[in-house]
Structure 1
Amino acid sequence: MGFKADDLHAVILAGGEGSRLRPLTVDRPKPMLPVGNVPILEHLITHLKKHGIKRITLAAHYLAAEIESYFGDGANFGVEIDYFIESVPMGTAGAIRAMREMIGESTALVLSGDALTNADFEAAYLAHRANQAKITLLLSRVESPLEFGVVVMDADQRIVGLVEKPTWAEVVSDTVNTGMYFVEPEVLSELEAERILDWSGDVFPQWIEGNREIYGHVIQDYWSDVGSFAQYSAANHDVLSGIFATDEPSTEDGLRVGAFSVIDEAAKLIPPVIIGRNCRVKAGAVVGPDTVIGDNVLIEEGAQVQRSIVWDSTYIGANANLESTIVASRVTIKRIAAIQEESVIGDRCTIEAGAKIRPRVKLWPDKTVERGAVVTHSLVWGTRYRAQLFRDLGVAGISNVEITPDFAVRLGAAIGSRFPRKTSIVTSRDSTRSSRMVKRAIISSLLSVGLDVIDLRSMAVPVARHYISRCGAGGAIHVRKLPGNSRVTLIETFDQTGAYINRRMERDIENAFNREDFRRADSDELGVIDFAGRAVEGYQADFHRLLDHSQVRHRMRVVCDFGFSALAGVYPSMLARLNVDAVSLNAFNDAKRAPRSPDDQSRHIAELRGIIQTLPNSIGVVFFDEGERLVVVDERGRVVEGHHLAAAMLHLVRASQKQGIVVASSLILSYLNAEGHQNGVEVVGSKSDVRSIMEDAARTDVLFASDERGGFIFPGLHPGFDAAFAFAKLLSLLQSQEVALSEIVDQLPFSAQAYEQVHCPSPKKGTVMRSLHDWAPSNWQVSLEEGIRFSDQDSWIQVIPDVFEPTLHVYVEAKEDDRCADLMEQIRSELVRAVEAASN
């Protein structure tokens, strides 16, 4: 009874998602993972062809098009391939049952598409025929059978027991199921159609329990189930060492270099090494041992790649170091980067110069690791791992994508480790669920490093800053949505005064975070949580103490839109002492309805204008950004905001006969200084970023500070922006001077301002700004104090590169609206042109 390959129809189950091998299997099915630069499935098909088995059906589900695109009808591989695409998973047996008509009356040779083998199918099939078996399992003997189905056979090779993935207590044999079977067509006919069925979980146990004969055949040949990173690396090692033989000719020196590859004479290859086609290895580079390099890979001078697997079209920069890692396709690894043991880099990732990937870290596809960053944990969501944690206001990232509970725990430990044990840290948040989640994770971490926590729970930022400056705590952490972006969580860290921590401490925290240099307290030294008492009452007391109520001579009517913020729980009760009749809008805390986007804020302003126009002699206010900024509507329904609001406040302060300094953002300085130094009040400029304004506001004799977006700081109360106090101060000055806000606005010179953002890749900012400097009209003055500022007698343009994001901030001011719009169009067009030119 000889072997007839035509009696067999091979069915390869190639539908697995390979979840344990992510991120390698995000963009490709597991059977298409390359082993020795050849997909697992191709190794299997080549081996079938050697046995003359040419009729093959591929059962695919996950990313099936990738498999079909590669193999086609099989003609290029010398076989005949057709496909069965599972619209939904049907189980290993259910899928074969659905192919009953395709298999016909042939014996089915069922194979797993994610296993490597050089099994002797001829000997196995002859044993199947000799036993007149309906089902024969191909078996292998392994040292650790815990990840497989353990099989027990009697003396006649009949299977009498099968235990799937046993514990050591259940291991009774070292013989395991390889997932390869011979199955006769009548067995398939018996299976129930259109039902999810698995061979090992359903069919085989039923046959064994029913005393129906299933035979086993132990193969003595190579077999490896590629189900984990360790197994995948081991399979590549087996190809390198010749344990698993391939069609590629072996070499005595253990070096296999593909066609058109160029190896510099000064490069060093340490066998065993496989290098694909069209590669280049430059002088001083060291490749090997135990290394597989795919096609079209460039390895620069001095790079070292050892015990690693690198897929196609990857770039490895000068002096980069890869040790025992797996790197997928089209990855860019720049100079001096280090990829450490057991790490896995997904497709199309970019590792910038000097970055380090720590052991066992996995990067999902399309991630960018910034220059010098140290990645200590896997990066699944988001697109970028930053070397710098802190941005302008704090640590920011997409909620529950980049800013996750585990990230918050590590950040809290890094922050907490910078403070002495038993220091008290104040925590607070806005009312969003994501902020609550992040804050709780941070609190747990602070306790673990031996710090005590005073929790304010949900609290407006100005009240939190005030409490911090009065309670004697060592610092504070506030969690909220980033102003203007509801998808991004912002984690702010304050010092004992309520101001932002300095840059030096931020760098210390970043270093601790990247090195995971966290202190751990003994169990009897863990911190405790206390809840703050009378924080609001203390704020209200100081708030009223700093206002002069004695000069109030008449009541005013005001309409306050609290924007569904936490300020709604603090301010309404204070309005009575301001001698006003108040109408409150949106005066409850509802994070989902808070106006964060520019469109939402414009809608709230428009609604307030409509109300003011129906209430004679009323002024209105909308509070934004958790009580940090405001927009005012005067008695005639005109919107007073930004530079106009700052000018109105300055006019009233000067009229009050107070002497001192007013700090103004550089973006409104020229407008506020139009009338010069008057009544002992001097206006001084500050850079436009929040930190600079806060630092300058802390100087002595400062009456108030203002930015261009309705933010006001009155340093006697606390060091941050406080819209509630600014509005109260405005009311107090209007009342004491018995003047209407509309009268003040009438006296202000008109000036139109506009603001836009232009995208510019960070590496191109310098080139674009140089080009912009050269573009400047000859009759304009140029200033380089903050970005680039062009100005003439009646207008100016200022372009400021964002410190962290790939963005240019563009500001324009002119005497007329049309002129302002024209200038914005000119500068926008020039910047877009310059960005395109720099990118080409």
Structure 2
Amino acid sequence: MKALVLAGGSGTRLRPITYTRAKQLVPVANKPVLFYGLESIASTGIRDVGIVVGDTQAEIEAAVGDGSAFGLQVTYLRQEAPLGLAHAVLIARDYLGDDDFVMYLGDNFIVGGIDALVERFRAERPSAQIMLTRVTDPRQFGVAELDADGRVIGLEEKPREPKSDLAMVGVYLFTPAVHDAVAELKPSPRGELEITDAIQWLIDAGRGVQSTLITGYWKDTGNVTDMLEVNRLVLESLEPRVDGDVRDSELVGRVVVEPGAVVSGSRIVGPAVIGSGTVVADSYIGPFTSIAVDCRVNNSEIEYSIVLARSSIDGVRRVEASLIGHDVEVTPAPNTPRAHRLVLGDHSKVQISQ
């Protein structure tokens, strides 16, 4: 059995962060989201993983390498444009061969892993097995319709009028039968080859399609709100550890200070993690905050936020519910009456107190 991990796409909902970085590499608790998925796959005993990549291929390859750090053997498969999940299966046809496989969306986060799901698939081996979860707004997802006995009878991608509140989670398991379905697909109105259409083809052809309703935690980390929520969840299981230099400071609760970090004259209330090489001085770091490597936080307050590598926050009160990219400088604005000076990237969103 193999795995197919989708790590292409442009990450439009995380702009401007994803103008310069792959969305799958944005960190949660100072570890890229993609790494959690690769660890879940390795836990099932799968070793051969094909990673579908696009314009951010070089960055993904630099981060993951040959996969040996995860106990995996990774092959990179280039997708020239994000033309749908089923298109990713199409371009991976030669790599997958006649093996069963799990398809995992690289920006999804599932608590508890996928071991039980894979074990059930291996034992029962339907043509397709999907994971479902109840959502408040199914119009944003692929939606499944079940009959009275719980069998999957219909699927629809991002419907205007959903027939249920059951959304498909970004993990799918297939036998080689799915290749017959994909070969028959035509682009949807969105111009993509939809995996929902492929699974519907299997249903219509009388092939076995099973579903599992998950009650645990799942998130598609495609926007800032979901990234911060996943960061909060991961940090809640943090084990406190201080390997850096802490001086004249108070650490409360589950706090990790990585080697090479320096904390002085500050108060950190966990769960929170301070990356290696980061300096925190005369500041307050509040709960559910991840500060990456080589950052500087001076005379500032920040909580419920993610700060990426080499950024600085100096003299700012107060920052919260924020995602701050690499090499960013955050400082107080000049005290100029009735004026704001802004330098913003495309698609930015700014809230200004009046």
Given the two structures, how large is their TM-score scaled by the length of structure 1?
A: 0.37
The answer to whether the Cα contact below 8 Å between 1:139 and 1:216 also exists between their aligned partners in 2 is yes
SS of the residue corresponding to residue 290 of structure 2 reads strand
Matched, 1:329 2:329: no
Deviation string, structure 1 residues 240-291 (Cα, Å, up to 9, x no partner): 223xxxxx64579221221121111x211122212111111112x1111221
Indicate how the Cα distance of structure 1 residues 173 and 130 shifts in structure 2: closer, same or farther if over 3 A, else same.
Answer: farther
The answer to whether the Cα contact below 8 Å between 2:313 and 2:330 also exists between their aligned partners in 1 is yes
Question: Of 291, 294, 308, which residue of structure 2 is paired with 1:293?
Answer: 291
What's 1:66 paired with? 59
Q: Which runs of 5+ in 1 are unaligned?
A: 1-7, 243-247, 338-352, 357-370, 382-513, 517-840
Indicate how the Cα distance of structure 1 residues 41 and 157 shifts in structure 2: closer, same or farther if over 3 A, else same.
Answer: same
User: Matched residues in 1 for 2:44 and 2:121: separation?
Assistant: 16
Q: Which runs of 5+ in 2 are unaligned?
A: 242-251, 347-351
Shift of 1:29: 1.7
Shift of 1:331: 0.8
Shift of 1:157: 4.3
User: Matched residues in 2 for 1:235 and 1:32: separation?
Assistant: 14
Shift of 1:212: 4.0
What's 1:237 paired with? 232
Question: Of 188, 191, 197, which residue of structure 1 is paired with 2:182?
Answer: 191
Indicate the RMSD between aligned Cα atoms, in angstroms.
Answer: 2.8
* Identical pairs, percent: 28
The answer to whether the Cα contact below 8 Å between 1:94 and 1:193 also exists between their aligned partners in 2 is no
Indicate how the Cα distance of structure 1 residues 355 and 228 shifts in structure 2: closer, same or farther if over 3 A, else same.
Answer: farther
Indicate how the Cα distance of structure 1 residues 145 and 189 shifts in structure 2: closer, same or farther if over 3 A, else same.
Answer: closer
Matched, 1:221 2:220: no
Paired amino acid for 1:226:
T
What's 1:259 paired with? 259
What's 2:158 paired with? 165
Paired amino acid for 2:231:
N
SS of the residue corresponding to residue 296 of structure 1 reads coil
Indicate how the Cα distance of structure 1 residues 374 and 158 shifts in structure 2: closer, same or farther if over 3 A, else same.
Answer: same
**Structure with greater strand percent:** 2
Matched residue pairs, number? 335
User: Matched residues in 2 for 1:296 and 1:115: separation?
Assistant: 27
User: Matched residues in 2 for 1:186 and 1:80: separation?
Assistant: 24
Paired amino acid for 1:19:
T
Deviation string, structure 1 residues 296-331 (Cα, Å, up to 9, x no partner): 11111x211122211111112134532322210111
Question: 1:368-387 to 2 correspondence within 5 Å?
Answer: 374=340, 379-380=344-345
User: Matched residues in 2 for 1:372 and 1:74: separation?
Assistant: 54
Paired amino acid for 1:218:
L
Indicate how the Cα distance of structure 1 residues 316 and 183 shifts in structure 2: closer, same or farther if over 3 A, else same.
Answer: same
The answer to whether the Cα contact below 8 Å between 1:37 and 1:276 also exists between their aligned partners in 2 is yes
What's 1:174 paired with? 165
Question: 1:77-96 to 2 correspondence within 5 Å?
Answer: 77-96=70-89
Question: 1:13-162 to 2 correspondence within 5 Å?
Answer: 13-154=6-147, 157-162=150-155
Q: Which has the larger radius of gyration?
A: 1
Paired amino acid for 1:113:
G
Indicate how the Cα distance of structure 1 residues 296 and 48 shifts in structure 2: closer, same or farther if over 3 A, else same.
Answer: same
Paired amino acid for 1:315:
S
Shift of 1:225: 0.7
Shift of 1:233: 1.6
Paired amino acid for 1:93:
A
User: Matched residues in 1 for 2:171 and 2:353: separation?
Assistant: 47
User: Matched residues in 1 for 2:80 and 2:335: separation?
Assistant: 42
SS of the residue corresponding to residue 138 of structure 2 reads coil
Indicate how the Cα distance of structure 1 residues 355 and 213 shifts in structure 2: closer, same or farther if over 3 A, else same.
Answer: farther
Paired amino acid for 2:210:
Y
**Structure with greater helix percent:** 1
Question: Of 306, 309, 316, which residue of structure 1 is paired with 2:306?
Answer: 309
User: Matched residues in 1 for 2:267 and 2:335: separation?
Assistant: 24
What's 1:202 paired with? 197
The answer to whether the Cα contact below 8 Å between 2:125 and 2:175 also exists between their aligned partners in 1 is no
The answer to whether the Cα contact below 8 Å between 1:98 and 1:194 also exists between their aligned partners in 2 is no
Paired amino acid for 1:124:
L
User: Matched residues in 1 for 2:285 and 2:335: separation?
Assistant: 20
Given the two structures, how large is their TM-score scaled by the length of structure 2?
A: 0.84
Indicate how the Cα distance of structure 1 residues 254 and 156 shifts in structure 2: closer, same or farther if over 3 A, else same.
Answer: same
Deviation string, structure 1 residues 543-576 (Cα, Å, up to 9, x no partner): xxxxxxxxxxxxxxxxxxxxxxxxxxxxxxxxxx
Indicate how the Cα distance of structure 1 residues 162 and 54 shifts in structure 2: closer, same or farther if over 3 A, else same.
Answer: same
The answer to whether the Cα contact below 8 Å between 1:119 and 1:219 also exists between their aligned partners in 2 is no
